[in-house]
Amino acid sequence: MEKTILEINNISKSFGSYKAIDNVTFKLQKGDIYGLIGSNGAGKTTIMRLITQLSPLKVGRIKLFDKKINQQALRHIGAVIETPASFDKLTVQQNLKLIALQRGINDTKRISEVVEFVGLQEKLTTKAKNLSLGQRQRLGLGIAILPDPDLLILDEPINGLDPSGIIEFRKLLEKLNQEKQVTILISSHILTELYQVSTKFGFIYKGQLIKEITKSDLDKANQSGLILTVTDVAKAAQVIDTNFNDKFSVLDEQRILVHSLNIDSSKLNEKLIRNGVSVISLAKEEKSLEDYYTKLIGGAEND
Ligand code: ATP
């Protein structure tokens, strides 16, 4: 059975007369990597600040492990939100020691474990202010995971990372998620990356959660696959049906969409030709999270 880790119920937040968060409800199940998507000022950071009590919640409820969130419950959350989590003048090791002290972690091995996990072994004695941006992000992640949290909240964690840094960061998150079953709430404007890492998405628009979708439903909605343009669509459909297990849809009198990017296209081409169907073109149709987002937000703006 799915276990709910975080439950956000009808939360709202206003700054003066400005409603930054408007009646938002969503859940994170154990093992989810939930990607929060929205334009600048949509409300993503505010939601994360409300969860972690950096901003007081006055309207709505937030529960962690089915209990109202409080200081005790916050111990199960590791977060990197906005500002760097580290102290500039302290070294990597000192920063981690300080957090260990604050969190009552006596196990010295835990610090080495975390340092190794985030790949900062060679920077132990470097002051945080002298770390590169990517190394600083890693230190932030190290600080967040030091207490072994069940839930990790990361606001724009890959901002400013170079391409290989992004890939490594993704691998770290996947490792935490798969090996330690850490549930993750993450925001990013780099949608290609967020798509790769997340299992579910929540779209925030002007303080409201306008859509939630799992990755597999997103793929279906995006109709990714192979588009075949052929001379005889009926015959082609018959050939695909008898020779392949993949689902397909006839789009019009010339085109068929095979709902799979893994189909062996040369074999498909060969079968069609052998059955007398001329293939005019074969093209991969890969709509992205970005396409979905643009359409969704475009729709919301026209409402
Ligand atoms: P970005 O992608 O740019 O980081 P975001 O989705 O994280 O944006 P938030 O930082 O949550 O957006 O801000 C949501 C809205 O709330 C913005 O319009 C912002 O100006 C406003 N806001 C946030 N904090 C405060 C505050 N302390 N006082 C006044 N307005 C605030």
Decide whether any atom of ligand 1 lies within 6 Å of the 188 Cβ. no
Out of 12, 14, 15, give the residue to mutate to test ligand 1, the one with the largest number of ligand atoms within 8 Å of its CB.
Answer: 15
Q: Are residues 102 and 29 in the same domain?
A: yes
Assess if residue 294 is contained within a domain. Answer: no
User: Is the domain of 198 the same as that of 231?
Assistant: no
Note the pLDDT of residue 83.
65
186 with 247, same domain?
Answer: no
Residue 166 sits in the same domain as residue 264: no
Q: 185 and 237, same structural domain?
A: no
Structural domains counted in the chain: 2
For CA atoms 170, 113, 144, 4, give the dihedral sign: positive
State which ligand 1 atom lies nearest to the alpha carbon of 16: 29
Residue of higher predicted confidence among 287 and 89: 89
Any idea which of 6-20, 47-61, 262-276, 289-303 has the lowest mean pLDDT? Answer: 289-303
Q: Is 45 in the pocket of ligand 1 (CB under 6 A)?
A: yes
Amino acid at 213: I
Does residue 40 line the site of ligand 1, with CB under 6 A?
A: yes
pLDDT digit string, tens, across residues 158-213? 887 888 888 888 998 999 999 889 999 999 999 989 998 999 999 999 999 999 99
pLDDT in tens, 224-242: 788 999 999 999 999 999 9
Judgement on whether residues 85 and 184 belong to the same structural domain of the protein:
yes
The protein residue with its alpha carbon nearest to ligand 1, atom 27, reads 15
Residue where one domain finishes, among candidates 187, 212, 237? 212
- Strands (E) in the chain, as ranges, are 4-15, 18-29, 33-37, 59-64, 67-68, 77-80, 151-155, 183-187, 200-205, 208-214, 225-230, 248-250, 255-258, 279-285
Model confidence, pTM: 0.83
Out of 191, 212, 233, pick the residue that ends a domain. 212
Question: Is residue 295 domain-resident?
Answer: no
Residues 253 and 204 in one domain: no
Sheet of 4-15: strand order equals: 18-29, 4-15, 59-64, 67-68
Q: Is residue 108 part of a domain?
A: yes
Q: Considering the domain boundaries, does residue 113 fall inside one?
A: yes
| Nearest atom, ligand 1, residue 40 CA | 3
Q: Is residue 57 part of a domain?
A: yes
Instruction: Ligand 1 pocket test: pick from 14, 18, 37, 46 the residue with the most ligand atoms within 8 Å of its Cβ.
Output: 46
The answer on 63 and 208 residing in a single domain is yes
In short, whether 38's Cβ falls inside 6 Å of ligand 1 is: yes
Tens digit of pLDDT for each residue in 101-125?
A: 888 888 888 999 999 988 899 999 9
Q: What is the mean pLDDT of residues 273-283?
A: 93
> Containing domain of residue 253, as a range?
225-285
Q: What is the CATH number of the domain that holds 230?
A: 3.30.70.100
pLDDT at 35: 97
Residue 290 lies in a domain: no
